[in-house]
């Protein structure tokens, strides 16, 4: 299960209703962890309002170094320091080493924990594994934007279940033998080696993609292929070449071509007080569309998507 909370859904300039780009994610399992996608201005306040722990964050994935996607890092790192953080924080992004070092040199402060920059390739069109967890991985591809930028995908490991009928036909009838097959990938039965591939049924894991800022491009479709969820830049109704942002219609076209489950539009320009026209524009191309708002909470499971609000009950009426 992947939990997703939109902390900021505005583009370029904040507004009273929309903070700047930041998305919190948590993979729930025995070895789960939480992380951020982008960290715009005010992210730490949004985490507090949503009741989410910033001290448990181990990784922050920055799509690019326009300030509306990273300016919250300074305050967040300083607060972590004041709260006594000891564990390292890894910050991923294109040219991360260059920019993280610059951030840490600003002002008279120095965190007492390690902030580790991890450079992410931003040229070409190849997919790169930037983080490997025992149960999932984060991969990236270069985006098409006015500065070096990347897109990220969360990919859960595929699950392989044993087809009991196939297993029985090969003499695998004992539960412990089947368990050993799943754990080791192969077992020896009656002098014959049986592999998991012979009797296994593969179930694809969850996949969620976040574009950051980008125009329509082939590498986006490649990254989003078969995703359960695509979170897409939708700054304007239509793509605007001079600022290199996709529009709602282009986001929908990418979702359709990639065969995704649900499209979520975000990063809206403050020119739109009402984003429903953008959603309607997208629905003309792709039917399963949501418009993100601050504190939108999504719970993604294979075959289902629950929609909620991350704010405590007392704050929802505000």
Q: What is the pLDDT of residue 144?
A: 94
Q: What is the pLDDT of residue 272?
A: 84
Q: What is the pLDDT of residue 271?
A: 84
Give the catalytic positions in this structure: 68
Give the chain's residues under pLDDT 50: none
Tell the residue number behind the tokens 């990254």, with chain if given. Answer: 223
Q: What is the pLDDT of residue 298?
A: 98
Q: What is the pLDDT of residue 170?
A: 62
65 and 112 both lie in a single domain: yes
Q: What is the pLDDT of residue 210?
A: 99
Q: What is the pLDDT of residue 103?
A: 95
Burial label for 133, CB within 10 Å (0-12, 13-18, 19+), is: middle
184 and 246 both lie in a single domain: no
Domain enclosing residue 182, as ranges: 162-199
Spatial distance between the Cα atoms of 130 and 159, rounded to a whole number of angstroms: 21
167 and 259 both lie in a single domain: no
For residues 23 and 281, the answer to whether their CB atoms sit within 8 Å is no
94 and 142 both lie in a single domain: yes
182 and 293 both lie in a single domain: no
Question: In terms of pTM, does the model score above 0.85?
Answer: yes
210 vs 230, 234, 308, CA distance in Å?
A: 6, 12, 19
Q: What is the pLDDT of residue 267?
A: 95
User: How many domains does the chain fold into?
Assistant: 2
């Amino acid at each position: 299960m992947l939990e997703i909370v939109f902390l900021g859904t505005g583009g370029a300039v904040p507004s009273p209703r929309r903070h700047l780009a930041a998305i919190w994610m948590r993979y729930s399992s025995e070895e789960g962890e939480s992380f951020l996608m982008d960290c715009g201005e005010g992210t730490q306040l949004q985490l507090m309002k949503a009741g989410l722990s910033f001290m448990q964050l181990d990784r922050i994935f920055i799509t690019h170094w326009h300030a509306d996607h990273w300016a919250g890092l300074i305050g967040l790192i300083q607060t972590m320091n004041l709260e006594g953080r000891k564990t390292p924080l890894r910050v991923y992004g294109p040219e991360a080493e260059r920019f993280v070092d610059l951030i840490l040199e600003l002002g008279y402060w120095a965190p007492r924990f390690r902030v580790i920059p991890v450079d992410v390739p931003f040229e070409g069109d190849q997919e790169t594994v930037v983080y490997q967890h025992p149960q999932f991985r984060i991969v990236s591809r270069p985006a098409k934007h006015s500065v070096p930028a990347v897109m990220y995908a969360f990919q859960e490991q595929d699950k392989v279940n044993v087809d009991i009928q196939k297993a029985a036909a090969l003499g695998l009838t004992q539960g412990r033998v089947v368990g050993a097959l799943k754990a080791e990938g192969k077992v020896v039965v009656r002098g014959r080696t049986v592999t998991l591939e012979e009797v296994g049924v593969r179930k694809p894991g969850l996949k969620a993609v976040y574009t950051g800022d980008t125009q329509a491009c082939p590498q986006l479709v490649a990254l989003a292929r078969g995703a359960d969820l695509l979170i897409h830049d939708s700054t304007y109704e239509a793509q605007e070449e001079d600022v290199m942002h996709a529009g709602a219609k282009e986001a929908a076209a990418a979702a359709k071509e990639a065969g995704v489950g649900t499209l979520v539009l975000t990063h809206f320009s403050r020119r739109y007080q009402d984003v429903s026209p953008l959603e309607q524009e997208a629905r003309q191309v792709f039917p399963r569309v949501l418009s993100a708002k601050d504190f939108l909470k999504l719970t993604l499971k294979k075959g289902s998507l629950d929609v909620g609000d991350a704010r405590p009950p007392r704050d929802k009426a505000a």
